[in-house]
Chain A
């Protein structure tokens, strides 16, 4: 992977300290503000990065976002690091650090961090259902969001899925609604 490092973003403040601690696993720094940071991490090292993030005092995984991009699924881990003790020093506000890892086509697979951080369990299942990202070693990869009767390999949150034209299949015990004759002719 090319090092598309934006060197003009300086590592500053609390966010800079956190991202700096991740060391060589950070491939590029995209945003570093007072309370928000975005960095791209090595997709082969997500478990190690997650473990190290979780060791920060007051760190927790808020959630993860899956993004359908050209090269695969971009998985964004949103970490929140809160000041401890909370609220005592107003200059030490909580920060949100987003770590991006790209799950490349064609297999679009990352290692699952759910064994390290139980909070990631459901969100990885959701990304698997809606976007088709795969998580190696996930403890319980059953369907979470989609119905069991939904066909394999169709992921409704992908950009190619049209919410009007690609109608979701009906559950097996339901017949399609009656369409009045006149309407059908117009279509």
Chain B
């Protein structure tokens, strides 16, 4: 038996911006075992939620993740709506679907860019992030923020979208199809990417099921798990779309799933917009007076997989228990199955292939004048500038 060495990656990960700690046990260049340590940034959100009212919790849970910040509140809200037996107005369901699909679009483009970056393929990074930007602006104009949309509330949504906004969403999403096709072709036909990603980090369908893999990680292995079709919520059962799966379970398959899902997202958004333009007006918010005692679960297909929330109410105005399970919690342990036997350079992209998401939203930067040491911007100033920018964007439309 050859000599066994431990290679540490982290806790300050050289590629991903968040704290995570991988220990690769290697013999020569071959990885024989992986150990993962997470939770360097545990913020105790489940505990915090027990001290917030039912209507305050969505603002907390959308900060669980900076990218899935539409999925987490929606899952929580569906759990609460299950307890209170709320009938959500149809228009609100369509509005929820639009924001969730815009989120999926920008998240998948973010991953494609980052995956290119991890492989040293910065052109992909530049292109993908360039086309992601209009989506972020659509979200900003429609909800008021690029991240943390604060869109959903128990009983419906907080803001309606005007016809102009809907038309703009339609136009921008349609314009995205051409570049997406170009990007998909460029990625899928590239011999270098084929050589780099095909048959790398294979997760078999059996392993995906045993480890409870979710989202594109499972669908890349041919396991058709998707909450949007398995347990339809919002307006997903009222629009026409296709569940994307690929066989193989390698990193390439996961990339294909994400790219093809972008087209489905555009398809869903366009159908929702068409429906809302045809049926203007209408309630967006059901009146919810109190949350009775009971327990409910809500799950939503976030870009990375199913996010699962459990809420228990005792009839007061606060949840007694709120459990949050983000998709990466199930996806990260699959490295035990997919990384063994790989060479060290292939592990980097395999680790990135599940799009692991820790939280990156808890930090801030301060720009300080080098000479006078005076801060150039404080928090209030940044908020004011961002509000000005949103106003300016709205006027342009």
Interface: A98 (CB within 8 A): yes
Given A62-B212, A62-B308, A78-B310, do A83 and B44 touch, yes or no (CB 8 Å)?
no
Interface: B15 (CB within 8 A): no
Q: Is the CB of A94 within 8 A of B231?
A: yes
Interface: A46 (CB within 8 A): no
Interface: A112 (CB within 8 A): no
Partner of B225, one of A31, A60, A65: A60
Q: Is the CB of B210 within 8 A of A119?
A: yes
**What is the CA–CA distance of A156 and B312 in the complex, to the nearest angstrom?**
18
Residues on B facing A (Cβ under 8 Å): 37-39, 42, 44, 46-48, 51, 82, 209-212, 224-227, 229-232, 237, 243, 295-297, 299, 306, 308, 310, 312, 321, 323, 325, 329-330, 333, 336
Q: How far is the CB of B223 from chain A (nearest CB, A)?
A: 9
Within 8 A of B (CB), among A59-105: 60-63, 65, 67, 76, 78, 80, 82-83, 85-87, 90, 93-96, 98
Residues on A facing B (Cβ under 8 Å): 31, 35-36, 38, 60-63, 65, 67, 76, 78, 80, 82-83, 85-87, 90, 93-96, 98, 117-119, 121-123, 130, 144-146, 156-157, 161, 163
**What is the CA–CA distance of A64 and B82 in the complex, to the nearest angstrom?**
19
Q: Which residues of A contact B37 (CB under 8 A)?
A: 144
Q: Is the CB of B333 within 8 A of A122?
A: yes
**What is the CA–CA distance of A83 and B38 in the complex, to the nearest angstrom?**
33
Q: Is the CB of B310 within 8 A of A65?
A: yes
Q: Is the CB of A85 within 8 A of B297?
A: no
Query: Please, which residue of chain B has its CB at the minimum distance from the CB of A100?
Result: B295
Q: Which residues of B contact A123 (CB under 8 A)?
A: 325, 329
Q: Is the CB of B231 within 8 A of A93?
A: yes
| 17 pairs from A and B in contact (CB 8 Å cutoff) | A63-B330, A78-B308, A80-B299, A86-B226, A87-B230, A90-B237, A93-B231, A93-B232, A96-B299, A98-B310, A117-B210, A118-B212, A118-B336, A119-B212, A119-B333, A157-B47, A163-B48
Query: Please, which residue of chain A has its CB at the minimum distance from the CB of B46?
Result: A157
Query: Please, which residue of chain B has its CB at the minimum distance from the CB of A158?
Result: B47
**What is the CA–CA distance of A61 and B297 in the complex, to the nearest angstrom?**
14
Q: Which residues of A contact B299 (CB under 8 A)?
A: 62, 80, 96
Partner of B312, one of A60, A61, A67, A117: A67
Q: Is the CB of B323 within 8 A of A63?
A: yes
**What is the CA–CA distance of A86 and B218 in the complex, to the nearest angstrom?**
13
**What is the CA–CA distance of A13 and B254 in the complex, to the nearest angstrom?**
35
Q: Which residues of B contact A83 (CB under 8 A)?
A: 230
Partner of B224, one of A80, A86, A96, A98: A86
Q: Is the CB of A61 within 8 A of B212?
A: yes
Q: How far is the CB of B92 from chain A (nearest CB, A)?
A: 20
**What is the CA–CA distance of A119 and B299 in the complex, to the nearest angstrom?**
17
**What is the CA–CA distance of A95 and B227 in the complex, to the nearest angstrom?**
10
Given A96-B297, A144-B38, do A82 and B230 touch, yes or no (CB 8 Å)?
yes
Q: How far is the CB of B229 from chain A (nearest CB, A)?
A: 4
Q: Which residues of A contact B330 (CB under 8 A)?
A: 63, 119, 122
**What is the CA–CA distance of A85 and B229 in the complex, to the nearest angstrom?**
11
**What is the CA–CA distance of A82 and B229 in the complex, to the nearest angstrom?**
10
Q: Which residues of B contact A119 (CB under 8 A)?
A: 210-212, 330, 333
Query: Please, which residue of chain A has its CB at the minimum distance from the CB of B230?
Result: A94
Q: Which of B37, B46, B227, B323 has the most CB of A within 10 A?
A: B323
Q: Which residues of A contact B209 (CB under 8 A)?
A: 60
Q: How far is the CB of A143 from chain B (nearest CB, A)?
A: 9
Query: Please, which residue of chain A has its CB at the minimum distance from the CB of B312?
Result: A67
